[in-house]
């Protein structure tokens, strides 16, 4: 988020920040780009934030209200309507936030979506499962990433998932789509992509989120004109039109089935997380934090969009619990393949390992790139298999 703030300031915007961090704890690298800052008691208390921001900005000109975090996009839309400024409406943003409404609007445009039902109770969920048939996926209506998302293959597995989702007020129960999973990412101006990206998940997120020993990989695609992804890009463009996209980032997930059919997954009107924007920057050697800001402020995208690299990010998970005690294989990997490594940010020895179920970033990552697709993925696989982090209880 600090980088988006920098981007806005660098294209000439006067930036007013809102957060729940005490001003004294804001890093100097962020403060330099802020004209002013409002600390709110609870950032996710939407009504309170809207009222406080509206009162705080009284007498000052507001041209844009922006948020690139999933849980804040509706708050930003409400503030846009309160201030009467340019940008996507609450209704349009709700189509990107509510997974069931999203699928209904996309399906109404004639695009293929998984069969899905909104459910609020255990009884509703069981009844819907009996109609849809297994296997199924259950996920929060307003979730992000793969949090609280489960594949269920039987009534028993469904009950187990429901027991873990007591805190979720409503969910989407949907047809499980078997196939390769990709992203379709854009920076849009008036709903038209000024920048497009496709990345592949290796393995699929549901698998990566359920098996701790896996080092998940995401690889951006250099060649956007290849037949394997052409239909997915066409689908993504159709989804943007169906949902009434305006300006800014979008992050969509879609499936390519074994028979070649492409199926919509879900979309957000915000950038992908887990350093996907960094990957896209490395793919083209550009600064999307700045170009996104230029697009939303001035309706322009000035950076070149020629794609030079396939870029893979590898997320590592330490073996054991506690603090990182050693990292094996990293020195050798850098020695053999260092020319292809653009970032290496594994947690250092002595650091408490993270809960892998709570963050895709896990215990750090490496980013590698190569102009050849197969080579980029091979480098990522070597890093995934040959670099091992260990942790032990202190």
**Four-point Cα dihedral 186, 378, 359, 169, nearest 10:** 60
Q: Is the C-alpha dihedral spanning 345, 346, 349, 352 positive or negative?
A: positive
Is residue 105 situated within a structural domain? no
Domain with residue 393: its CATH number is: 3.90.1170
Contact between 249 and 4 under an 8 Å Cβ cutoff? The reply is: no
**CA-based R_g, the chain, Å:** 21
Exposure string over 135-152, b if 16+ CB within 10 A, otherwise e: ebbbbbbbbbbbebbbbb
d(CA 148, CA 57): 37
* Angle made by CA atoms 296, 50, 15, in degrees to the nearest 5: 40
Same domain membership, residue 219 and residue 132: no
Same domain membership, residue 314 and residue 285: no
Q: Give the domain-ending residue among 137, 156, 175.
A: 175
d(CA 227, CA 385): 30
Q: How far is CA 6 from CA 11, 13, 53, 72, 125, in A?
A: 9, 10, 21, 19, 45
The pLDDT value recorded for residue 145 is 59
pLDDT digits (tens, 9 = 90+) for 194-207: 999 999 999 998 89
d(CA 359, CA 389): 17
Same domain membership, residue 163 and residue 121: yes
d(CA 250, CA 95): 13
Q: Give the domain-ending residue among 149, 175, 201.
A: 175
Same domain membership, residue 125 and residue 75: no
Burial of 32 (0-12, 13-18, 19+ CB in 10 A): exposed
Whether this prediction's pTM lies above 0.95 is answered by: no
d(CA 212, CA 318): 9
Tokens representing 173? 């129960």
Chain Cα centroid distance, residue 27: 24
**Four-point Cα dihedral 115, 119, 124, 126, nearest 10:** 60
Same domain membership, residue 236 and residue 335: no
Question: What is the enclosing helix (H) or strand (E) of 343?
Answer: strand 341-346
d(CA 306, CA 286): 10
Closest CA to 391 of 360, 364, 358, 359: 364
Is residue 162 situated within a structural domain? yes
Residue-wise DSSP of 169-231: S-EEEEEPPPSEEEEEEEEEETTEEEEEEEEEEES-HHHHTT-TT---EEEE-S-TTSHHHHH
Closest CA to 306 of 195, 151, 178: 195
The pLDDT value recorded for residue 392 is 87
The pLDDT value recorded for residue 166 is 87
d(CA 119, CA 140): 10
Same domain membership, residue 214 and residue 284: yes
The pLDDT value recorded for residue 126 is 94
Q: Give the domain-ending residue among 308, 343, 366.
A: 308
Is residue 95 situated within a structural domain? no
Domain span including residue 197: 180-308
Query: Would you write out the chain's pLDDT as a tens digit for each of its 394 residues?
Result: 999 999 999 999 999 999 999 999 999 999 999 999 999 999 999 999 999 999 999 999 999 999 999 999 999 999 999 999 999 999 999 999 999 999 999 999 999 999 999 999 999 999 999 999 999 999 998 766 567 889 999 999 999 999 999 899 999 999 999 999 999 999 999 999 999 999 999 999 889 988 999 999 999 999 999 999 999 999 999 999 999 999 999 999 999 999 999 999 999 999 999 999 999 999 999 999 999 999 999 999 999 999 999 999 999 999 999 999 999 999 999 999 999 999 999 999 999 999 998 888 999 999 999 999 999 999 999 999 999 999 987 6
Is residue 97 situated within a structural domain? no
pLDDT digits (tens, 9 = 90+) for 50-84: 999 999 999 999 999 999 999 999 999 999 999 99
The pLDDT value recorded for residue 191 is 97
Tokens representing 45? 């208390």
């Amino acid at each position: 988020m600090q980088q988006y703030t920098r981007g806005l300031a660098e294209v000439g915007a006067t930036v007013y920040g809102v957060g729940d961090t005490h001003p004294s704890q804001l890093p100097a690298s962020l403060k330099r780009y802020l004209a002013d800052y409002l600390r709110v008691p609870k950032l996710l208390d939407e009504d309170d934030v809207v009222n406080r921001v509206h009162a705080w900005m009284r007498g000052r000109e507001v041209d844009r209200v922006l948020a690139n975090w999933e849980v804040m996009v509706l708050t930003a839309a409400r503030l846009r309507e309160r201030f009467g400024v340019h940008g996507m409406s609450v209704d349009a943003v709700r189509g990107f936030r509510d997974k069931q409404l999203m699928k209904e609007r996309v399906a109404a445009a004639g695009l293929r979506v998984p069969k899905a039902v909104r459910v609020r109770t255990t009884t509703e969920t069981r009844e819907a499962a009996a109609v849809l048939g297994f296997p199924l996926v259950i996920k929060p209506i307003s979730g992000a990433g793969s949090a609280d998302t489960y594949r269920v293959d039987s009534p028993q597995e469904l009950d187990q998932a429901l027991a873990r989702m007591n805190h979720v007020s409503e969910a989407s129960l949907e047809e499980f789509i078997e196939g390769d999973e990709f992203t379709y990412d854009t920076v849009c101006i008036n709903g038209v992509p000024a920048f497009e990206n496709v990345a592949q998940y290796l393995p699929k997120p549901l698998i990566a989120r359920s098996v701790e020993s896996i080092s998940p990989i995401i690889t951006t695609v250099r060649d956007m004109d290849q037949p394997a992804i052409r239909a997915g890009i066409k689908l993504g463009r159709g989804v943007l039109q169906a949902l009434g996209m305006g300006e800014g980032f979008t992050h969509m997930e879609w499936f390519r089935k074994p028979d070649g059919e492409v199926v919509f997954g879900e979309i957000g009107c915000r950038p992908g997380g887990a350093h996907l924007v960094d990957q896209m920057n490395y793919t083209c050697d550009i600064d999307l934090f700045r170009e996104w800001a230029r697009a939303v402020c001035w309706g322009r995208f000035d950076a070149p969009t020629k794609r030079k690299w396939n870029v893979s990010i590898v997320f590592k998970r330490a073996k054991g619990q506690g603090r990182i005690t050693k990292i094996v294989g990293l020195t050798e990997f850098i020695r053999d393949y260092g020319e292809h490594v653009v970032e290496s940010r594994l947690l250092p020895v002595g650091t408490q390992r993270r809960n892998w179920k709570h963050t895709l970033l896990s215990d750090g990552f490496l980013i590698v790139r190569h102009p050849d697709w197969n080579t980029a993925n091979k480098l990522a696989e070597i890093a995934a298999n040959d670099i091992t982090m260990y942790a032990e209880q202190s």
